[in-house]
Structure 1
Amino acid sequence: MRGIHLTVFFIFVGISPVTLVDPSCKGKLNTNEILREEPRLVSSILNGKRFVVGHNFDTINIVHVYGGTPYDMGYAFGKLMSEDLQQLVPEYFAYLENKIEDLIKQVPPLIAKWLAEFGLRGALDLNYDITRQYTPPWYDEELQGLAAGSGISYKDIRRLNLIPELIKAACSVLGAWGESTASSTTLLHLRSLDWDEKAPIAKYATVTVYHPNASYAGYADHFHEYYKQKYTTSHTFANFGYAGLVGSIGAYNEVSVGLGQKVWITTEQDITSRLGNPWTYVLRDVIQFSNSLDTALSMLINTHRTCSVHLGLGEFHRNSSINDNNSVGFLGIEYSAKEFNAYSWEDMYNTPNHPILKDIVYWDPHPQPSNHPCFGSLLIDHYSHLDAATIIRNITSLLETGNTLNLILDYGDNAAYLAYSAPDDPQGPIEAFNRVHTRIDMTKLFAEPAPHSEDFA
């Protein structure tokens, strides 16, 4: 692992007034107003509440789950989202199976062989068989509950959750704070998902808010060594993703630790493995159990890693002075079975098309180090003026990143801004980065009270 540089040094960034957009930026400004409205309660059951926010093709489900066990939380989610899941699962698998020839061309040779020999469901079952001994048992329990609550077969729910392990996505990562931002008192975190904007799963956009009240100590005593280090205090946290996915592709917790992912494309084929804990489950564990970069890094280092992915890992301490070096932190991470590298802003790639910018960590959707100048030029143009609205209007839309999910976390304001693709919208646009973004108050989400048990006796 490359050492994380703790000695802070300053690099002069020549910031000029906003100029003409670099011709490598092919997109257009997103001029939509940001939607700011309170989520609307749809239904409430024992251990769960379902809200929606937004309208028509920009509707997002917000599902709160509570409970003493992982099974309880899975069951509540399944019950609240049963109709959606009964439509989503067969529709999404049919969609992917119709694209199997395209998938075979896109995935690594080993996965292509699995898909060719066993089909999609068979390949996902094989992936489960070789990862199950490394996967914490609470995932299986939650999936069992989700299946029971929704009426979907457990195997199909399990398969759905391993699709990200089988098929990774391009995506972009950005962490910006300090001198680079408009307020200088926040951390901005972009997790854009460039996957398949036409996939029907986008119609089931869901933020799942977990309110765990169970102790996981009993699991840790007999499982992986890194769980024995007592990372068993669970935090309330939010998964930004889709109905039925219990792992994390982008997540944020009540103590302001956040994680997002993008693919790490490398020609070094020997740095990955299929034998380990699926990366979406690792990311979720980090968000559920960690309260700092140090704890998160320890968990990431000590787990049995599999695929090669880039991560953006952030933390923000609301009660600390912004001038305190410990008040905010953001790292870009290269994560794989055999290699783990953590980058602060000062030791990121420094190339003509990826200049070092003070208080900014970033990767564009392309293989790294990128030869595409668009992202770097946009960040220079908007340096010291960055906020969530600027990222949405002037950066992700012009970079054309976040076609499937575009998520910006404002840690200082404790808010999330997100948009999903809309494959069924006849008037478009389809891509998330061009659509209306919704602001969600994370303080309110994390404080949402559990339903009263006497109402469901």
Structure 2
Amino acid sequence: MNGSALLLLCFLARISVIYSTDPSCSGKVNTNPIVREDPRLVSTVPNGKRFVVGSDYDQINIVHVYGGTPYDMGFALGKLMSKEITELVPAYFEYLYEQVEEILKIVPAFIAKWIADLGLAGALDLTYEITHPYTPPWFDDEIRGVADGSGVDMVKIRQVNMLPEMIKAACTVLGAWGDSVIGSTLLHVRALDWDDKAPIAKYATITVYHPNASYQGYTDHFHDYYKQHNPQSHAFANFGYPGLIGSLGAYSEASIALGEKVWITKESDITSRFGNPWTYVLRDVVQFANSVDTALTMMANAQRTCSIHLGLGSYERNSSLTADTNFGFRGIEYSARELNVYNWEDMFNTKAHPILRDVVYWDKHVQPSNNPCLGSLLVEHYGHLNAESIIYNITSLSETGDAMNFVLDYAENAVYIAYSAPDDPKGPLEAFNRAHTRIDMGKLFAEPAPH
């Protein structure tokens, strides 16, 4: 048997389950090999470097920003991605205006009224005005830097950053470790089911922050947690799009990660819009926390707003996953008035959602879900999970992660990630069906600043 045949045989062995035995799983296996290549340097500016990885419709921008100050990092991001941000912002708003009737169907009634009365831009401006008193000032400083660096109106960039607060996404949360996985690792899935056809998808970007500034000057009059703990700021990566500075999904050099899905509940009971936007809270937690405990403390002390589910992962290297309570994965119900934390034993146990040791998960449907697909796939592959098997046989078959799909392997310190490709004439459109790129996060966090 020659080398090529052997490689093909090994690849096919890893994707041996082509369809699920559960008829509720309507997807098919993702047969694309993992892209494994080093990022290529494109350009540098003071306080920033831009790389790309992959090619054509699977290309991902990797932008490193160094501070200085939050403004400096924003300015570097704006400079490095000025062409993309200049194209993206008007194209995205044009697209949103075309979709406004669909948006009105999925947002809470009071937000639909805001949009009807004020227009989409006005509703986003109102969201900013009512959240601004609760938001740490470094976010405005960074947005101002992005605007100055790119030449795009700061108000427009601010509006883009308010969209997740107003329009949440379906998504899937999954954490797996211990008996459920191959080897000794923690696997973390953040599958973003948002809008795979939106033009923002053409600008796939991982922004890697290397902050070296003290935040103490900002926090003297903000947030008791910061004043009491003066937490260390870690390098971290936002997986998302240029100009969107909050976290849809993020991972730090301290091996803390967060990903979100919508929590459908009665808005009037436990939610608020008067607080710190959830994407900003998630980013602060990933940037400043160094354990599950500190992450949960920060969330408990945050002025929370709308209702979301979260997956919180933490990995202490050279430790046992079961030996330390600050080590592992938690599912969280997060809202203004509730913060409920779950491990695998606490999750609801139904036919569609069986309890599995060392697995915390919520599928993309309203919880508790009546759709058995994801649960059946996890039972089927239990004990054999790794990043590749999740990509080949879990997210693709359950059709989750249409806009962005990534799997973090904490032991490898690597992310496997794909974005949707609305312009690819050959398809497929959805991220979960496309080639995923493996990126060494340890190397990204160690990337030196430009000279």
Q: Same fold (TM over 0.5)?
A: yes
Match of 1:341 in 2: 340
Cα drift, residue 223 of structure 1: 0.9
| 2:87 is equivalent to residue 58 of structure 1 | no
| 2:227 is equivalent to residue 252 of structure 1 | no
2:389 is paired with a residue whose SS is helix
2:174 is paired with a residue whose SS is strand
2:407 is paired with a residue whose SS is strand
Amino acid at match of 1:76: A
| Equivalent-residue separation in structure 2 for 1:314 and 1:253 (angstroms) | 11
Residue pair 1:247, 1:283 contacting (<8 A) in 2 also: yes
2:259 is paired with a residue whose SS is strand
| Equivalent-residue separation in structure 1 for 2:285 and 2:130 (angstroms) | 22
| Equivalent-residue separation in structure 2 for 1:80 and 1:372 (angstroms) | 43
Superposed CA offset, 1:9-68 (max 9, x none):
xxxxxxxx9795200000000000000000000001110000000110001000000011
Cα drift, residue 231 of structure 1: 4.1
Superposed CA offset, 1:324-376 (max 9, x none):
33473100000001111000000111111111100000000001111010011
Superposed CA offset, 1:167-193 (max 9, x none):
00000000000000011x100000000
Match of 2:180 in 1: 180
| 2:377 is equivalent to residue 378 of structure 1 | yes
Match of 1:115 in 2: 115
| Equivalent-residue separation in structure 1 for 2:410 and 2:68 (angstroms) | 29
RMSD (CA atoms) = 1.3
Match of 1:75 in 2: 75
Match of 1:141 in 2: 141
Residue pair 1:203, 1:423 contacting (<8 A) in 2 also: yes
Superposed CA offset, 1:235-262 (max 9, x none):
0000000011110000000010100000
Match of 2:426 in 1: 427
Match of 1:224 in 2: 223
| Equivalent-residue separation in structure 2 for 1:73 and 1:53 (angstroms) | 21
Residue pair 1:259, 1:283 contacting (<8 A) in 2 also: yes
Residue pair 2:321, 2:328 contacting (<8 A) in 1 also: no
| Equivalent-residue separation in structure 2 for 1:451 and 1:337 (angstroms) | 41
Residue pair 2:20, 2:397 contacting (<8 A) in 1 also: no
Match of 2:282 in 1: 283
How many residue pairs match? The answer is: 435
Cα drift, residue 85 of structure 1: 0.5
| Equivalent-residue separation in structure 1 for 2:268 and 2:341 (angstroms) | 20
| Equivalent-residue separation in structure 2 for 1:323 and 1:166 (angstroms) | 38
1:65 is paired with a residue whose SS is strand
Matches within 5 A, 1:17-166: 21-166=21-166
Cα drift, residue 268 of structure 1: 5.6
Amino acid at match of 1:165: E
Matches within 5 A, 1:287-302: 287-302=286-301
| Equivalent-residue separation in structure 1 for 2:82 and 2:289 (angstroms) | 31
1:399 is paired with a residue whose SS is coil
Residue pair 1:220, 1:230 contacting (<8 A) in 2 also: no
Amino acid at match of 1:399: S
| Equivalent-residue separation in structure 1 for 2:327 and 2:231 (angstroms) | 24
Residue pair 1:262, 1:310 contacting (<8 A) in 2 also: yes
Q: Which moved more, 1:216-225 or 1:433-442?
A: 216-225
Matches within 5 A, 1:318-397: 318-322=317-321, 324-326=323-325, 328-397=327-396
| Equivalent-residue separation in structure 2 for 1:216 and 1:372 (angstroms) | 45
Distance 1:318 1:224, change over 3 A: same
1:201 is paired with a residue whose SS is helix
| Equivalent-residue separation in structure 1 for 2:243 and 2:266 (angstroms) | 33
Distance 1:280 1:301, change over 3 A: same
Residue pair 2:291, 2:326 contacting (<8 A) in 1 also: no
1:117 is paired with a residue whose SS is helix
| Equivalent-residue separation in structure 2 for 1:159 and 1:111 (angstroms) | 15
Residue pair 1:82, 1:151 contacting (<8 A) in 2 also: yes
| Equivalent-residue separation in structure 1 for 2:292 and 2:201 (angstroms) | 31
| Equivalent-residue separation in structure 2 for 1:324 and 1:299 (angstroms) | 23
Residue pair 2:61, 2:205 contacting (<8 A) in 1 also: yes
| Equivalent-residue separation in structure 2 for 1:275 and 1:90 (angstroms) | 28
| Equivalent-residue separation in structure 2 for 1:229 and 1:20 (angstroms) | 51
TM-score, length-normalised on structure 1? 0.94
Match of 2:202 in 1: 203
| Equivalent-residue separation in structure 1 for 2:376 and 2:59 (angstroms) | 33
Cα drift, residue 322 of structure 1: 4.4
1:300 is paired with a residue whose SS is helix
Residue pair 2:190, 2:249 contacting (<8 A) in 1 also: yes
Match of 2:4 in 1: none
Match of 2:11 in 1: none
1:127 is paired with a residue whose SS is helix
2:354 is paired with a residue whose SS is coil
| Equivalent-residue separation in structure 1 for 2:327 and 2:271 (angstroms) | 31
Sequence identity of aligned pairs in percent?
A: 67
| Equivalent-residue separation in structure 1 for 2:398 and 2:120 (angstroms) | 32
TM-score, length-normalised on structure 2? 0.95
| Equivalent-residue separation in structure 2 for 1:199 and 1:121 (angstroms) | 17
Query: Which structure 1 residue ranges, 5 or more long, are not aligned?
Result: 1-16, 453-457
Cα drift, residue 228 of structure 1: 1.6
Match of 1:441 in 2: 440
| Equivalent-residue separation in structure 2 for 1:281 and 1:103 (angstroms) | 22
2:435 is paired with a residue whose SS is coil
| 2:435 is equivalent to residue 450 of structure 1 | no
| Equivalent-residue separation in structure 1 for 2:373 and 2:187 (angstroms) | 19
Query: Which structure 2 residue ranges, 5 or more long, are not aligned?
Result: 1-15
| Equivalent-residue separation in structure 2 for 1:401 and 1:395 (angstroms) | 9
